[in-house]
Structure 1
Amino acid sequence: MAQTAGVKPMSIAGRVASERERCLGMTDVERAWRKQWLKDQVLAPNEPVHVEAYWKERTNIIRRIYRAPLDNLFKGLTPVLGASRAADYRYITGKLGLIFFGIFAGHYYFKYNANDWTRKGGWRVHKSKPMVLPGQPGFPKKSDRTKGSDYANTGFKHAPDV
């Protein structure tokens, strides 16, 4: 949700927000207003207040479910680490967990869903010919494919006889 909920933001400080404007001269009404405005900017010692019911209403049930394990873990670590450090560690742990899960899922997919002759789908992975420069052994590097049927081969030639 946007910070202003779709309403254009406006400054409540008025013309006295700028020091230059205040130096030009302020009326007694503006001074009293500015004094009250400055007092209103001071937060109470218990702020910001975390209201559990308000947070529950604003967050999706699915989000609350997938956040629950790390929230419970770091709720216990907060007295040891401190609120700020525990929040930072919780954030970093969640992001690293998602990165590791993504790497694992990608590895699993490419390992067990190869594009071969037994199935229609899967990503086709091409291996390029290694680079051999002049002066290196094996220059010029010839192709390993000797016949036309070697191209676009999806493993059928190497399949075990059934």
Structure 2
Amino acid sequence: MAQTAGVKPMAIAGRVASERERCLGMTDAERAWRKQWLKDQVLASNEPVYVEEYWRERTNPIRRLYRKPLDVLFTKLMPVLGQERASNYRFIVGKLGMIAVGILSIQYYFKYNGNDWTKKGGWRVMTTKPMVLPGQPGFPFKSERCTDSDYAERGFKKATI
């Protein structure tokens, strides 16, 4: 959904946002309005304000749950590292942790859920024969599979049944 929900956006600065328009001439009311508008653009010393209840209402409980350990850790490290650096480190550690969990999950899946003769599912991982060109050692390439029954056996001959 568009940020303005289909309504054409309107600039609150008015016609005096452009320097060219201001040079054409401004009325006293426009000058007063522009002065107040520029004054309103200055943030207070405590901005931006972090409101815990507002953040809690806007975030998913599951997201809060998996973020909690790093939030607690980096809240304790914030006096040492500083707020900016602690939030940057928290972001990087969180992303690297998710990448590591993803890699370990993929490794686990391929290690324990391979496609062999006992299962119907799982990804079948096959290796291709190596490229051996004339003049290289091992040319012509001889397969270690001896008979036709060795092809597509999916680990049946290694079974201990």
TM-score (norm 1): 0.91
Alignment-derived partner of residue 95 in structure 1: 95
Q: Any stretches of 5+ residues in structure 2 without a counterpart?
A: none
- Measure the CA separation in 2 of the matches of 1:142 and 1:27: 92
- Measure the CA separation in 1 of the matches of 2:10 and 2:77: 40
Aligned-pair Cα RMSD in Å: 1.8
Compared CA separation, residues 98 and 130, structure 1 to 2 (3 A): same
Alignment-derived partner of residue 78 in structure 2: 78
The offset of 1:154, in angstroms, is: 0.6
2:107 counterpart SS class: helix
Alignment-derived partner of residue 58 in structure 1: 58
Tell me the amino acid that sits aligned with residue 50 of structure 2.
H
- Measure the CA separation in 1 of the matches of 2:6 and 2:109: 42
Identity of aligned pairs, percent? 75
Alignment-derived partner of residue 29 in structure 2: 29
The offset of 1:148, in angstroms, is: 2.1
Q: Any stretches of 5+ residues in structure 1 without a counterpart?
A: none
Alignment-derived partner of residue 151 in structure 2: 151
- Measure the CA separation in 1 of the matches of 2:118 and 2:80: 55
- Measure the CA separation in 1 of the matches of 2:61 and 2:2: 20
The offset of 1:27, in angstroms, is: 1.1
- Measure the CA separation in 2 of the matches of 1:120 and 1:101: 27
Compared CA separation, residues 55 and 92, structure 1 to 2 (3 A): same
Compared CA separation, residues 80 and 65, structure 1 to 2 (3 A): same
Tell me the amino acid that sits aligned with residue 136 of structure 2.
Q
Segment of structure 1 superposing worse, 60-69 or 118-127: 118-127
Equivalenced residues, count: 161
Q: Deviations over 1:57-80 (max 9, x none)?
A: 111111111110000000011111
Tell me the amino acid that sits aligned with residue 117 of structure 2.
W
- Measure the CA separation in 2 of the matches of 1:127 and 1:40: 66
1:154 counterpart SS class: coil
Compared CA separation, residues 6 and 93, structure 1 to 2 (3 A): farther
User: Which ranges of 4 or more aligned residues in structure 1 deviate by more than 3 Å?
Assistant: 1-9
